[in-house]
Amino acid sequence: MKSKPFLHILMLMLLVFLSAAAHYAIYYSALIRGYETSPLTAIRNLSILCILAILPIIISAIFKYRGDWTVYTSAVLLFSIGLTMQYRLFSDPEYTSKANKAEARQLKIRTLQERYIQENYPAEKKKIMGLPATPPTPADLSKETPKPPPETIKDVLTSGKTWIPLFAILMMITSLLLMSKEGIQLTLQNNGFLVVTVTLIPLMGAAVTSQSGKFMGNMTPWEPSKIPFLLGFAAVLSELYKRLMKTYWGIPRARDLIPLIFMAILPFIPFFVLKDFGQMLVFSTVYITLYLVAVRRTLQRLVFAGSVALLATILIASALPSSVQQKVPLLSTLSAPIKNILPPRIHQRFHLWFDAFTPPPPDTPWWKNDLAEFYWRQHRADLIERRPETESLYSELDKIENSKSIDANMRNRASQIRSELRKIALEDILHMYEITKDLGEAKEENNENQRERQEEERNLRELKIKLDEINERAWFGDDALQVSRATFGIFSGGTTGRGLGLGYVELIPVADSDYIYAAIGEELGLFGGLLITLALIIFVSAGIRIAVNSRDMFSKLCATGLTAFIGFQALVNMGGITRALPMTGITLPFVSHGGFSLITSFAMLGMLMAISHRNSLDLEVNLGKLK
């Protein structure tokens, strides 16, 4: 469908104006809290939005784009919201500080305290406090000297926050130009397996060498692999979809189904190695959607949908926390075989989903090692008191860590000591839990012959209290930290939010990336959350319209898959933060701060626009033939 860019350009310019107002609100809020935001960063952000606002003019005039601009405008709206929230977060010294977060927090608290005293305390009370005896007066922010931002022009120009969005825009234009060409689309359609294989080989290398789901520091280079995996699956499905309609009781023939299953499984291999539950969930929903689009028979769709629903029910029931399974008779017994083979990370995510504010028992398989790590690092005195042999290990480790020069042998020895301490801590944790788990409520005993037993029970109860305290501190200090703070933040935001720059989003870990929806919900409230939801609904609706208008099955599947990737990833992210779904740790498309994630989202946007452009050209040709 063709749409004139004029109206969209007006809306984009309005977005630039509103973003400028939001940046000023953040600047003013920062002055209230005693620090200053960077005007250079604000100019950089608004310049990027201006480029996006005038880009439709360039693309329409130079590249003769004839497609729909709705997906583009909704994506820029999402991007502008994310850019504004990132400006708020990265301007806060408490959020950006790595070693002095407490000091930055104290400076902000002191500023607010001094301003409250100035505005509300009478002269007599100020005199008693040793302050100038001035009457209560409103604070004049123009006369205050907040801490200036450290950024220089060079820092802003060389920052990844500048070049990554520009590169993402370039990738969008490149994808638009390439996918608009008939020859390139035919090449991709005829070489789907080759595209997937070429992508899988380097991706497996990156996955195997990654650490904690990151590659070479904090990068996720597997994000762009979504596009070739989608193209490969769409190519195979567009070739087989007619043969898949030949079914027996709704089930296709094995010779037609096996190649499709093989192509669908390939992307899960590297993400399984990475333990990336979120990407596996998104890929599953996207591939299911593509299959339902390709097949045409109602019985076939019902059989497939029923099979998927049954499999999902079995997996969810098996991954439920034990405290939830015990409420359903025989569920724990029936789900045990599958529960034992599920990765620990999935168990953790489901516990956070259903019971985030209750720490798991210390002997929980997926939790006990993390608890032991916390115990030996944070409760050194307690571990030495209970296991005196650890004192020499701690002393040796301190000596190595404080050494000015550390060779390979010393590093290996330090690693061995940490492993030994972790093992001893785990043994001690399990021993404490074993001897205290069966304690009931305390009962008063008056018989003097039972004093010794009462003393023993009292000691065990004190030990149980200490173990519960360690367990809670470890749980809420790491695994449940993000979830709990995000939940409290969204709740405190209410309907209208605390206001830009006036919330406490800096307390949410990774608030600029995975948890940016929680930050938006706290400072913009329900209005901000609904604005993002509305933009996503518009984007998905426009993407579906592009898929419906596509002339061939490959284009239809590509448009559906690209739209589904953006839509389902956003749904999984927002659902995880609001605890409607398990939290998976994936980004919010176009909104979250990220390198490969943002680049991939804009590349997908360019491909959608290219398919829309080809649809409009086909429509013009068909109308010309009718005339």
- Regarding whether 466 and 383 lie in a shared domain, the answer is yes
Write out the two tokens for 465: 């209290």
Q: Does residue 277 lie in a domain region?
A: no
How many domains does the chain divide into? 2
Q: Which residue has the tokens 């583009």?
A: 72
pTM for this prediction:
0.88
Which residues constitute the domain of residue 402?
Answer: 368-438+452-479
Residues 409 and 458 in one domain: yes
**Does residue 333 sit within a domain?**
yes
In a domain, 466, yes or no: yes
In this structure, are 399 and 465 located in the same domain?
Answer: yes
Do 471 and 359 form a contact (C-beta atoms < 8 A)? yes
Identify the pLDDT of residue 544: 95
Confidence of residue 125 (pLDDT cuts 50, 70, 90): confident
On whether residue 129 sits in a domain, the answer given is no
What's the rounded Cα separation, in Å, for the pair 446 and 461? 19
Q: Are residues 424 and 457 in the same domain?
A: yes
Q: Quick one: 461 and 388 in the same domain?
A: yes
* pLDDT band at 167; cut points 50, 70, 90: very high
Which tops the pLDDT comparison, 370 or 250?
Answer: 370
Q: What percent of the chain has pLDDT over 90?
A: 35
User: What is the 3 state secondary structure string of 206-223?
Assistant: HHHCCECCEECCCECCCH
Residues near 390 by beta carbon (within 8 Å), at least 6 away in sequence? 376, 383, 384, 421, 424
Residue 88 forms part of a structural domain: no
User: Is 154 a domain residue?
Assistant: no
Q: Is 216's pLDDT higher than 70? A: no
Q: Residue 621 above 90 pLDDT?
A: no
Same domain, 399 and 350: no
Distance separating alpha carbons of residues 87 and 161, to the nearest angstrom: 10
- Clarify whether residues 377 and 338 are in a common domain: no
For residues 373 and 469, membership in a common domain is answered with yes
One domain, residues 348 and 373: no
Residue 387 in any domain: the answer is yes
Residue 384 and residue 343 share a domain? no
- Mean per-residue pLDDT, 340-369: 86
| Residue 500 lies inside a defined structural domain of this protein | no
pLDDT given for residue 43 in this prediction: 94
Q: Is the dihedral of CA 326, 279, 506, 26 positive or negative?
A: negative
Determine the Cα–Cα distance for residues 252 and 244; give it in Å rounded to an integer: 5
- Same-domain check for residues 338 and 390: no
Q: How far apart are CA 439 and CA 325, in angstroms?
A: 23
pLDDT in tens, 490-548: 999 888 899 999 999 988 888 988 899 999 999 999 999 999 999 999 999 999 999 99
